[in-house]
A and B are shown apart, each in its own frame.
Chain A
């Protein structure tokens, strides 16, 4: 797995990658421009989201080719990036939860992970099919499932994040 972290010189939405040509890529660019534009109004909100979107773009840049991990991984698709960006955009704007770390999976999906410590982890994975596959570890308890999402984040995802960050 490869985990991207933010760096000032990495491409961001304000310095968008321009190697895509398909209609989907244009859609992605428009969507990401909107994500940042909506939140740029306040610096408090804009920085974490912009950094997370930048990390997502970095993962897409590195992992959108066949065999990006040297062991036969599938490429990350533009649809998966769109779903991941949408999910990030749909996270509660009151910033109760920190932004997740972004990872590409060998099956071409994108994982967003919230890590608080050992046995305190929540991860969601998107593939571009408007579904969220999730799993959580909370001490000795664990959960997993699939949720479909449209214009809002499924309650199950919110409740798992609340569970992870309860008692902070």
Chain B
């Protein structure tokens, strides 16, 4: 789900090891990381969203293109479909 700015913060993790992914999160997320979900970009763009890299910090990107606040049930529906895609390939990882 997006934040108040209509963005969902993600890291692009293609091509790096599992340890490097956890390390990336540890370096740049100011909270203890308990788990993560991995999804390929095409599954996100298939839903009409965009993945826009800003590399601030390294490998960071934002998912944009969410519906307006008044249509947020659509956002929940899209988020549910993305969650299902992650579940389908067992890509939720607990630390």
Contact = CB atoms under 8 A, between A and B. Distances in A.
Interface of A: 1-2, 67-74, 105-107, 111, 118-119, 121, 123, 125, 133-137, 142-146
Interface in B1-42: 1-5, 8-9, 29-31, 34
B31 A123 contact: no
B42 to A, nearest CB: 18
Contacts of B29: 69-71
Contacts of A133: 72-73, 76
A69 B84 CA distance: 21
Nearest to B85: A118
Interface residues of B, number: 23
A107 B3 contact: yes
A106 B76 CA distance: 12
B31 A69 contact: yes
Contacts of A67: 30
With a 10 A CB-CB cut-off, give which of B1, B29, B72, B73 has the most chain A CB atoms: B73
A143 B74 CA distance: 9
B3 A125 contact: no
Interface in B42-93: 72-74, 76-77, 79-81, 83-84, 87-88
